[in-house]
Structure 1
Amino acid sequence: MIHYKAILKVMGGLMMLLGVLMFPSVAFAYYYHSGDQITLIASALICLTIGGTFFFSFANQDQNIRKREGYMIVALSWIIMSVFGMMPYLLSGTIPNYSDAIFETVSGFTTTGASILTDIERLPEGILLWRSMTQWIGGLGIIVLTVAIFPLLGIGGIELFVAESPGPTSDKVHPRIRETAKRLWLIYFGLTILLVVIYYLEGMSFFDAMNHSLTTMSTGGFSTKNNSMAYFNSPLIQYTAVFFMFLAGTNFTLIYFAFKGHFNRVWASDEFRAYFISVGLLVVGIFAAVYFLMDDSFEKSFRDVLFQVVSLVTTTGYVSADYTVYSNGLTIIFFMILFMGACAGSTSGGIKFIRHLTFVKNSTLEFKRIVHPRAVIPLKINGERVTGKVITHIMNFLLLYLMIFVLGSIVMSIAGYDLITSFGAVATSMGNVGPGIGRVGPVDNFAFFSPFAKLFLSFLMLLGRLELFTILVLFTPYFWRAN
């Protein structure tokens, strides 16, 4: 039996937390006299009131959250966050349309960075900060944040942590899951504050530095400028963004080990080495082509390629140049990057390098097994044997991801969009990247899509952020059968 009252209690706590997290935007609205403070206060109070009603009504419920409750809470929390997170847009009138507001909010919380806004710079400061905050909240996940700061989840915290955390990884910085979540969020918060200071010293206004720090560390890509990072025509700012995007795409457990001085553990990670080397090879290969195709200087060509490759691999989605104008061949390569993702346990979306690495290693070993059918040839990652269960899970994930991409592209094509745009929209939504190809390229936005298409793409964003199974398992009959 599913403990629905325990679920409602946790959902109430999450809504209260969401309301509290709206108040920094209120402070900025008052400071800048942007006129949206009442809207933000009203939105926060609605979340606190409804959340508090659920939480205190079921305060005495058992906190023993099992696996099924964990998956339900994670899936429902992201839906409810999106529904209530769009209230500032609706109440302020900055995004008066429901399908547009839900799209922008889901894009924020899932750190996709796709937007329907055609003139971002006209938005008031409070709304802009809330827009950036949605990405920062969703970066490591609101469930992980709640496990870190609330004793609310009790024993069931491990189930929620596993259900929400991106990518298959067993690395922990502490044997207690609450301590792990707390340390991960402290690293996340500390790096964000550090980046605010650096951006500010490099020439951004404090407001721009704050917003771009929130969306860089979350690998989200929302900007306060219509031209994204291209607005800041500063090599120093762009190189800084590259470094912190790459850092945010790294497993945060490895960042913790690096802070502790255990650098050997960082390079010993097969996934990190694959991540580092792949980014390097992509940058060198694409730069060699771009330098001869374009008239830009050596440094400008290198910087644009480095920035766009890191931005797409880490699924940040910042834009410094239009990569679709280089050549058709390079556009295909950039499209393929949408399926990469960075490291498991990072803030990036996408498939993740650990899955690609497992697939490649297992495929290579399969050739050896064909030649030596009686030999026992185990697959090892980081020197440890990968079980058949994990391999099967990863292979199923990759196949399911491909199937959903194909079916999603068909749905978008039936909805009336050309094939290239359909491919680009579905790929970038599932990968939580932001820019794609076709009519959703790096200098375009998603405003032209129909309400149905926006809701469908929003669903794909959630599906991708929660690693497919967390949501899809709710649609299986096995999930709902009584124990």
Structure 2
Amino acid sequence: MPEGTTVERAFFAPVLHIIGLLTIALGLSMAFPAMADLVVGNIDWQVFTAASITTVFLGGATVLSTRRPEISLSLKQGFLLTALSWFLLPTAAAVPFVYADLDMGIIDSIFEAVSAMTTTGSTVMVGLDSMPPGILLWRSLLQWIGGIGIIVMAIAILPFLRVGGMQLFRTESSDRYDKALPRAQQMVKAITLVYLGLTVTCGLSYWAAGMTAFDALNHALTTLPTGGFSTHDASFGYFQTPLLHWLGTLFMIAGALPFTLYVATLAGRRKALLNDSQVRLFLWVVAGSVALLTVHLVGVRGFGVEEALRLSAFNVVSVVTTTGFATTDYSGWGALSVTLFFYLTFSGACAGSTTGGIKMLRVGVMLATLSVYIKRLVYPAGVFPRRFGGQDISSEITASVMVFTLAYASTVALAALALSAFGHDFVTSLTAAATAVANVGPGLGPIVGPAGNFAPLEPGAKLVLSVAMILGRLEIFTVLVLLSPVFWRR
């Protein structure tokens, strides 16, 4: 075998081996919706069973053909694994949508699967209230699987790939708790248990508050990953119980906090969450936004205080955590509300959680940099260190965050430009692009707004948004680096 071929095989084999294992896990998970359909006598159980067998077979063949005594990944392989996983796994996950009794084409199926696994929550499906349980459970399960994948990526991969200043998260969160859990594998296992525990607690809470067992299961599977898929066309607005709205708000916040800090709290650091600068910034943003919106709804729109506070809290938290649940069409609350929700679409919650967006960690770095810049304008000879969360912010991290933010805004602008080429108005194009890159779900306007649906969009527009969702979930540079000729040099 030529030396070049051997080197290339050694480079790709570990990556494909891990993707094969992930594909097997995805295929096995199809057994759950298959059983759900079998119980109610829906014929789609055959689709899920066939898709499961095929997916497991392909994953198993990949694993067997790439076996190695020891699997270790270089930096380049880490980039490749991260990007390929998020392009290939949604493709496999789309198969049941294609062949189920839904009348969905390939592009619609890919859009739905990508939206699910990136926990975006945008949907092209209508008539959810009357759909069979298997396909509803599959959508929810994909968001839950995507959520744990996002957490692992944010904690174990992105900080070491040094994407967009995420190395600061490694310094601020992960390394601080090395004594409690010295190995990354132990950390991932602990985080998975926390994620599972919160999901079970959420589901039981929903059920106790009045949801049916099936609704509670599905909404728990989509709340913790801050995904936003629902079993009803009216989303969370289907449930008129105030207690359910408050529980949803609470558990969306739970999914938006750094999961390493949950582990630290359980390991004995009781104030780990409240002492974290990123968490405090996130909670201040939520509190300020809820207060502003509540005053607006009471004073201008004529809402009662309790209703205004509840609706403000739920929908602000839903957008800033990039969940995308909606209890009402908040685009009808006036210009102030629409503008506020548009800004919150970009911010996101905490790094190390399941949320999308720019992340509060980067927002904090930018605010600290802005503060230092203003001080230097006033005192040119002064020395003002950049700090966030008790950590010094190096020039490298500052530059990385600024470049990421520029790339993020450019990606939104290009996606919006592409959507406008299909004839969509400015608001629809811009907010659909923003919500895709930020992995939020609903945008603004009659088509993609909280009361709308992405089904009317053209196939090309759906493909644009599918790519935008993956780019946003992978923090953009994880994909862009693969397009550089430098990456492929030996």
TM range (shorter): over 0.9
Relative to structure 1, the CA distance from residue 160 to residue 408 in structure 2 (aligned partners, 3 Å threshold; closer, same or farther) is closer
Mean alpha-carbon deviation: is it higher for 349-358 or for 297-306?
297-306
Q: How far has the Cα of 1:372 moved from its partner?
A: 3.4
Answer whether contact 1:167 1:467 (CA < 8 A) is retained.
no
Deviation at 1:142, TM superposition (A): 6.8
Alpha-carbon distance between aligned partners in 1 of 2:158 and 2:85, rounded to the nearest angstrom: 11
1:459 aligns with 2:467: yes
State the alpha-carbon separation in 2 of the partners of residues 48 and 205 from structure 1.
32
1:160, CA displacement in angstroms?
A: 7.4
Displacement after TM superposition at 1:40 (Å): 0.8
Cross-structure match for 1:270: 277
Q: Please name the residue that 1:186 is paired with.
A: 193
1:165 offset after TM fit, Å?
A: 9.8
Letter in 1 for 2:429: S
* Aligned amino acid, residue 352 of structure 1: K
Query: 1:380 is matched with which residue?
Result: 387
C-alpha distance 337-26 of structure 1, shift in aligned 2 (>3 A): same
1:83-482 correspondence runs (5 A): 83-141=91-149, 144=152, 159=157, 162=160, 168=166, 169-170=169-170, 171-172=173-174, 173=177, 174-438=181-445, 439-482=447-490
Q: Is the 8 A contact 1:74 1:143 kept in 2?
A: no
CA–CA separation in structure 2 for the residues paired with 1:354 and 1:470: 18
Q: CA deviation at 1:36?
A: 1.8
Within 5 Å, give how 1:22-61 maps onto structure 2: 22-60=30-68
Q: CA deviation at 1:305?
A: 0.9
Name the SS of the counterpart of 2:272 in structure 1. helix
160 and 95 in structure 1: CA distance in 2 versus 1, 3 angstrom threshold: farther
Tell me the residue number matched to 1:153: none
Q: Deviations over 1:310-335 (max 9, x none)?
A: 00010000010111111123211111
TM-score (norm 2): 0.92
Q: CA deviation at 1:397?
A: 0.5
CA deviation map 1:59-83 (0-9, x unaligned): 1365221111111111111111111
**3-state SS in 2 of match to 1:308:** helix
Distance verdict in 2 for CA 1:159–1:228, change over 3 Å: closer
Partner residue in 2 for 1:152: none
Q: Distance in 2 between matches of 1:302 and 1:338?
A: 20
Residue 264 of structure 1, CA deviation = 2.5
- Structure 2 counterpart of 1:446, one-letter code: F
Name 1:68's counterpart in structure 2: 76
- The 3 A distance-change label for structure 1 pair 164 and 391 is closer
Query: Relative to 1, partners in 2 of residues 1:63 and 1:160: Cα closer, same or farther, differing over 3 Å?
Result: farther
SS of residue paired to 1:462: helix
Correspondence for 2:4: none
Q: CA deviation at 1:32?
A: 3.0
2:281 partner amino acid: A
Question: Residue 145 of structure 2 aligns to which amino acid in structure 1?
Answer: I
For residues 337-362 of structure 1, what are the alpha-carbon distances to aligned partners after superposition, in whole Å with 9 as ceiling and x for unaligned? 11010000011111101111110110
Q: Distance in 2 between matches of 1:164 and 1:435?
A: 30
CA contact (8 A) 2:228 2:325 kept: yes
CA distance in 1 between partners of 2:350 and 2:151 (Å): 19
- Tell me the distance in 2 between the aligned counterparts of 1:26 and 1:82: 18
TM-score (norm 1): 0.93
Shift of 1:255: 2.1
* Closer, same or farther: CA 332–142 of 1 in aligned 2, 3 Å: closer
Coordinate RMSD, CA, aligned: 2.0
Tell me, in whole angstroms, the C-alpha distance in 1 between the residues paired with 2:377 and 2:427.
Answer: 38
Partner of 1:151: none
Tell me the matched-pair count.
472
Deviations for 1:136-190, whole angstroms, at most 9, x for unmatched residues?
Answer: 0111217939x9xxxxxxxxx9557855999821122523111111111110001
Residues 94, 113 of structure 2: 8 Å contact kept: yes
